[in-house]
């Protein structure tokens, strides 16, 4: 079977399974009750995308800072990175969001819970982003540095023409995977009553009582964001691989 046809069949299989589930569950299935909440759901959808982009950018910055700590020659800074990473690896995102919004934020007189929630996602993703940088920079071999040295490239030229163009290519696919984690993780911001997609639909279903439809709708909306993203990642991987 050719590849495209295989994919069409695979997608049809999944749709058939979804339809079967919808028919087999006892309640009637209709999305029409959500039309009244269209604006709310749209807002949630957009907020999910926005929050995810902020978190991505934030974690790229913090990840880079912690990457610098991790390669630091100062033992204390390296240790700091290690301790931080170990703690974050063992912390559920939900816990981090709650602690950040209700404990750490107020301790520093910050009562903007949504902001602290986003900050929690950033902090949570920081070690993962750090690893992305780490693998990207380490993939430039020592011999390449020797060659740059031999030819006499200035430090600026090395970064501008040789190091950064390579690092960006290597960094893109794992960064996009992390972005997808962020998008899904942002659903946990609902505990702060922040109107992202999950929260928006939960609010709508509490009025419509169409819980099954709500979750299916939510699921489809998340896929609408994540699948194009992962397809784009694959494209970049193919196009840019070194």
Residues that bind other proteins (CB under 8 A): 141, 143-144, 146-147, 149-153, 157, 161-162, 165-166, 169, 241-242
Calculate the CA 40 to chain-centre distance: 23
**Of residues 207 and 234, the one with the C-beta less far from other proteins:** 234
Calculate the CA 242 to chain-centre distance: 24
Residue with tokens 């995308």: 49
**Of residues 10 and 147, the one with the C-beta less far from other proteins:** 147
What is the widest separation between alpha-carbon atoms in the chain? 73
C-alpha to C-alpha distance for 175 and 91, rounded to whole angstroms: 21
- Least distance from other proteins to the Cβ atom of residue 242, Å: 4
Where does the chain show beta strands of DSSP type E?
none
- Least distance from other proteins to the Cβ atom of residue 174, Å: 17
Q: Checking phi first, is residue 154 left (phi over 0); if not, alpha (psi -120 to 50) or beta?
A: beta
Please report, to the nearest 10 degrees, the dihedral formed by the alpha carbons of residues 42, 44, 46, 50 taken in order: 170
**Of residues 16 and 147, the one with the C-beta less far from other proteins:** 147
**Of residues 25 and 241, the one with the C-beta less far from other proteins:** 241
- Least distance from other proteins to the Cβ atom of residue 154, Å: 8
Residue 52's SS3 state is helix
Token pair recorded at residue 72: 């630091």
**Of residues 163 and 217, the one with the C-beta less far from other proteins:** 163
- Least distance from other proteins to the Cβ atom of residue 102, Å: 47
- Least distance from other proteins to the Cβ atom of residue 162, Å: 6
Residue 182's SS3 state is helix
């Amino acid at each position: 079977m050719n590849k495209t046809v295989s994919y069409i069949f695979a997608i049809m299989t999944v749709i058939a399974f979804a339809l079967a589930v919808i028919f087999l569950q006892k309640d009637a299935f209709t999305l029409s009750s959500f039309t009244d909440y269209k604006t709310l759901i749209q807002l949630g959808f957009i907020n999910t995308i926005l929050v995810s982009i902020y978190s991505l950018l934030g974690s790229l910055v913090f990840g880079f800072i912690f990457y610098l700590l991790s390669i630091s020659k100062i033992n204390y800074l390296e240790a700091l990175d290690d301790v931080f990473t170990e703690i974050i690896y063992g912390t559920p995102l939900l816990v981090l969001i709650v602690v950040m919004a209700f404990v750490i934020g107020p301790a520093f007189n910050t009562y903007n819970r949504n902001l602290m929630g986003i900050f929690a996602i950033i902090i949570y993703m920081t070690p993962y982003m750090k690893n992305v940088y780490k693998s990207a920079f380490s993939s430039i071999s020592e011999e390449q540095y020797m060659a740059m040295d031999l030819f006499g490239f200035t430090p600026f030229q090395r970064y501008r023409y040789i190091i950064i163009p390579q690092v960006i290519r290597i960094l893109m696919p794992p960064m996009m995977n992390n972005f997808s984690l962020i998008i899904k993780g942002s659903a946990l911001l609902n505990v702060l009553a922040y109107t992202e997609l999950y929260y928006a639909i939960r609010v709508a279903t509490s009025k419509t009582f169409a819980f099954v439809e709500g979750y299916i709708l939510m699921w489809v909306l998340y896929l609408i964001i994540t699948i194009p993203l992962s397809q784009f990642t694959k494209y970049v991987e193919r196009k840019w691989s070194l």
